[in-house]
Amino acid sequence: MKTKKKVLAVILAAVVFAVAVILAGGYFFLLNQTAETGDRRSRNQFITGRTALAGDISSFLSVPPGTLEGLSLYVGENRQMSRALRVELQMTADGVLVVWPGELAEQGNAAALYGASVSVEKLTLAQLQKINLGKDFKNDADESPYDDMEDISYLTVVTLNEYANWFRRLVSGKLILSFHDESKISDPEAAMKMLCDSIEASLFDRKAVFVTENSQLLSIFDEKYPTLLRAATESEAKELFRAALLNKEIDKKSIPYDAVITGKNGIFSRFDSKRFISYAHSLDVAVMFDGVSSAKKAGRLKENGADMLFTDDIEALYNVVFEEE
């Protein structure tokens, strides 16, 4: 009996050891793959096999844009429908990245405090956070819900870092980030450092895509922050389209971007084919479509495998995109 127990113990120990070896081997294989690819091509969380909807708070008329109050209300109303959020950024006079609140001269009491030519890049963060963006704000029901509020901490200009952390606490989603006006970025290197530091600090390193056509910003991004995600430029996207037509073999590691985002102007309308989307996916590149307002178009894009649709009317497209989920 003792001999049988010893044999069983030896067999069990051998099995445990074999499993441990297999797991360790798998771990080191993945580690090696990550090292070889610089972690850029190891995974793309925007490719999930499901089409997601991305919202734009600036088109949500019930809230003052670029504020924590606006973010909270937007997410509360669209939590089940929107799995991503597009955010425009601008740099303050003292070099802080904030969420662009719209034209300041038209927002809250900004013009009353700083004059009709007020703008984000002309003011420091401290000055900007004295502005009450809820003052005289009228929602889509023509109501003024914030006029009597004394605490304006949720109704003023907010930093990217705080906004991203708030968004992460509210919902498990993704961010599409861009600068509102790149010509007004006084220090591109500092802007990119702050952008990427905020993404990493907020644990959005694989859940945020940076969008730009600015070659200077791109060179800084690709050189110093290669593990973060960015969208293809227009020329890169067109080159990928030509490669798809030819079914050209491309090394994944040679591709410096992680997503192709179409333009509202229809330049990339040919990119909605199943063939192109499948080709991009084979290279771990997500395909997203901007300016989608038609339910018919949304249904076709979903069928063809699109990863994300940007829309101003999430509610209208929700039933089409998620009807079978």
Instruction: Kindly report, residue by residue over 24-50, the tens digit of the pLDDT.
Output: 454 444 334 433 434 444 478 899 999
Q: What angle do CA 66, 58, 98 make, to 5 degrees?
A: 25
User: Which range, of 31-45, 243-257, 269-283, averages the lowest pLDDT?
Assistant: 31-45
For the chain, what is the mean pLDDT? Answer: 83
Which is higher by pLDDT, 323 or 211? 211
Average pLDDT score over residue span 236-241: 93
- Distance in angstroms (rounded) separating the CA atoms of residues 76 and 70: 10
User: What is the residue extent of each domain of the chain?
Assistant: 1-37, 52-321
Q: In degrees, to the nearest 5, what angle opens at C-alpha 310 toward C-alphas 306 and 311?
A: 125
pLDDT mean over 259-277: 76
* Whether residue 235 has pLDDT greater than 80: yes
- pLDDT level of residue 274 (50, 70, 90 thresholds): very high
Residue 147 dihedral angles phi and psi, to the nearest 5°:
-60, -30
| Highest CATH level, class, for 52-321 | alpha beta
pLDDT number for residue 131: 94
**Average pLDDT of 129-157?**
88
At residue 64, φ and ψ (nearest 5 deg) are -70, 125
